[in-house]
């Protein structure tokens, strides 16, 4: 009706620029990855976590070919063996092999840590995106709920839920995540509030995008850096929380091994079997330290708010 020419048939005048540039497109992700790789300590910490994870995954192999013990095999004739032969890291009060239990405990502890991070990120991100984007009553209700959850001492909630639900690794992850998602939701919501003010959101809406697309395709990638940082810093924290619950006897119950429940009662053996404190303790310490170092490195590399250019 308007006699328009199809867009593809028209040549508009162009302005001369200097010749073609050959520099490759540097995406935000490439740049961040380069920055992360340049951080030696952070990379070493990351690699260490990967190795620990791999060992935990391969636990049955280790028990078969290295230690030759099952993690739950009780041997009352060889309790409190000192590290050496045949028990590389000694045995506990029931004669169970410490190294085998540490390796199997890694499965539980690391598994719970990653599952918890995944759960709280998923829930927290969804809530943060929705509340931040829509605002209004949905924001009021959900965020006041978050405020409420976060203002009850977390340890109290953990103890309560551990009593109500039998803590298996999966329920324990859900218990920790049920408190942890609140912090993520707040973080994401704050980020969304700032990103949604940026003009490209209106610009995208002005080309006819629907809300779901705006949120998932445009908002989410912009809050992803913050999420990556939160995830990598969260792992260490969750290992500590889980270890504390196990230590108190509220988490994973023996004979299932976890780094935390290996420490239960070990304080009574501190003087005559110090390795029962040292090995799980050092493992937790090193893992948490590595998670935090890696988390900090990730933050330095990915957090857009720390970027200098």
Contacts with other proteins, residue ranges (CB under 8 A):
2-8, 10-17, 19-21, 25-28, 198-200, 202-210, 213, 218, 221-222, 224
Residue 299 near residue 233, CB atoms below 8 Å: yes
Residue 235 near residue 291, CB atoms below 8 Å: yes
- The distance of closest approach from Cβ of residue 218 to other proteins in the complex, given in angstroms and rounded to an integer, is 6
- Kindly tell me which of 54 and 203 has the beta carbon lying closer to other proteins: 203
Tokens 């810093």, residue located: 233
- Kindly tell me which of 131 and 283 has the beta carbon lying closer to other proteins: 131
- Kindly tell me which of 26 and 151 has the beta carbon lying closer to other proteins: 26
- Kindly tell me which of 73 and 205 has the beta carbon lying closer to other proteins: 205
- The distance of closest approach from Cβ of residue 134 to other proteins in the complex, given in angstroms and rounded to an integer, is 11
- Kindly tell me which of 161 and 301 has the beta carbon lying closer to other proteins: 301
Q: Is the bond leading into 88 cis (omega within 30 degrees of zero)?
A: no
Tokens 């969260």, residue located: 234
SS3 of residue 198 by DSSP: coil
Q: What is the DSSP string of 249-266?
A: TSSSPTTS--TTTTTTTG
- The distance of closest approach from Cβ of residue 68 to other proteins in the complex, given in angstroms and rounded to an integer, is 52
Q: Distances in Å between the alpha carbon of 126 and those of 82, 144, 184, 217?
A: 50, 16, 10, 13
- The distance of closest approach from Cβ of residue 211 to other proteins in the complex, given in angstroms and rounded to an integer, is 9
- The distance of closest approach from Cβ of residue 109 to other proteins in the complex, given in angstroms and rounded to an integer, is 34
């Amino acid at each position: 009706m308007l006699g328009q020419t199809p867009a593809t048939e028209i040549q508009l005048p162009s302005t001369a620029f200097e010749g073609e540039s050959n520099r490759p497109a540097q995406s935000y992700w490439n740049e961040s990855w380069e920055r992360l790789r340049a951080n030696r300590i952070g990379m070493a910490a990351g690699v260490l976590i990967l190795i620990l994870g791999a060992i935990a995954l391969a636990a049955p192999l280790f028990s078969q070919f290295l230690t030759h013990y099952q993690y739950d095999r009780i041997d009352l004739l060889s309790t409190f063996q000192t590290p050496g032969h045949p028990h590389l890291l000694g045995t506990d009060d029931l004669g169970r092999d410490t190294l085998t239990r540490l390796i199997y405990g890694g499965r539980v502890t690391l598994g719970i840590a990653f599952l918890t991070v995944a759960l709280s990120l998923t829930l927290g991100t969804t809530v943060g995106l929705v509340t931040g984007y829509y605002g209004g009553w949905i924001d009021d209700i959900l965020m006041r709920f978050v405020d409420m959850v976060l203002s009850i001492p977390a340890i109290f909630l953990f103890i309560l839920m551990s009593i109500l639900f039998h803590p298996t690794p999966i329920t324990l992850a859900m218990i920790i995540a049920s408190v942890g998602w609140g912090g993520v939701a707040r973080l994401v919501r704050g980020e969304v509030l700032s990103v949604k003010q940026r003009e490209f959101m209106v610009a995208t809406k002005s080309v006819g995008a629907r809300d779901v697309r705006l949120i998932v395709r445009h908002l989410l990638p912009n809050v992803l850096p913050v999420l990556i940082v939160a995830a990598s810093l969260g792992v260490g924290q969750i290992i500590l929380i889980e270890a504390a619950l196990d230590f108190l006897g509220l988490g994973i119950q023996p004979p299932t091994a976890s780094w935390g429940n290996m420490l239960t009662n070990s304080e009574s053996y501190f003087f005559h079997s110090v390795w029962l404190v040292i090995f799980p303790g050092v493992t937790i310490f090193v893992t948490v330290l590595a998670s935090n170092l890696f988390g900090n490195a990730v933050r330095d590399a990915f957090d857009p708010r720390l970027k200098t250019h």
